[in-house]
Amino acid sequence: MDCIFCKIIEGAIPSSKIYETDNVLVFRDIQPAAPVHALIIPKKHIASMNDAKDGDFALLGEVLAAAQHTAQELGVADSGYRLINNCGADGGQVVFHIHFHLLGGEKLGPLNA
């Protein structure tokens, strides 16, 4: 499958890994938008929020648990952070393997700026 994040999971494309479980991988975004910018992904290929099935939401709960763990590990839990999922064209999704961005390490601007 021609999916860049699946290739990262397989190790075919290198990444800066932060945290890994049986079902979830966390790695640094190659083009960080904040001092802390991690990507949290399920190892199962789900293209987007629109493609998640009923049976995928336990796995997506594991993705959120990994995001919470990562915020602690990267030292932004207390200062705060933002979790973002871009879905589809208007959402600005570029990579169609579902992922959450964890952004922090600075005061982030308001969403309506």
DSSP E strands, the chain: 17-20, 24-28, 36-42, 81-84, 100-104
CB of 26 to ligand 5GP, least distance (A): 11
Quick check: 100 binds ligand 5GP (CB under 6 A)? no
Window 13 to 72, contacts with Zn ion (CB under 5 A) = 45
Q: Which is nearer to Zn ion, 37 or 97 (CB)?
A: 97
CB of 111 to ligand 5GP, least distance (A): 15
Neighbours of 89 (CB within 10 A): 8
Task: Compute the distance between CA of residue 49 and CA of residue 52 in angstroms, rounded to an integer.
Answer: 5
Chain residues binding ligand 5GP by CB under 6 A are 4, 13, 15, 27-31, 39, 86, 92-95
